Amino acid sequence: MIRHSVIFTLKHPAGSAEEGAFLRDAKILAAIPGVEKFEQLRQVSRKNDYAFGFSMEFADQAAYSGYNDHPDHVAFVRDRWMPEVERFLEIDYVLI
């Protein structure tokens, strides 16, 4: 199992219609084959200043690779993520 997580801050003002649209539209990622346990998270700790997180799991590397290469993921990264995300940190975990 691979747990893919990304924490990020958007360029949009907090609570704006643009922020809401980004989060709503990102739910398309949950429908990509191989994605399990997709979650959108709001960051609440004072220990960092990122605003949101996405977390999802994949059964194996093949499922994760399929997600990365899927046209819906590629289009979301190109058309929404790159123009609208200010900064991010991506982490992929496996169980030990």
- Rounded to the nearest angstrom, the gap between the alpha carbon of residue 87 and the centroid of all alpha carbons in its chain is 12
Top-level class of domain 2-94: alpha beta
Query: Which pLDDT score is estimated for 56?
Result: 98
Residue 24 to residue 18: CA distance in whole angstroms:
10
Local confidence band at 6 (pLDDT 50, 70, 90 cut-offs): very high
Chain segment 20-74, per-residue pLDDT in tens: 999 999 999 999 999 999 999 999 999 999 999 999 999 999 999 999 999 999 9
Query: Which pLDDT score is estimated for 12?
Result: 97
Query: Which pLDDT score is estimated for 9?
Result: 98
* Strand, helix or coil for residue 35: coil
Query: Which pLDDT score is estimated for 58?
Result: 98
- Rounded to the nearest angstrom, the gap between the alpha carbon of residue 54 and the centroid of all alpha carbons in its chain is 4
Query: Which pLDDT score is estimated for 74?
Result: 98
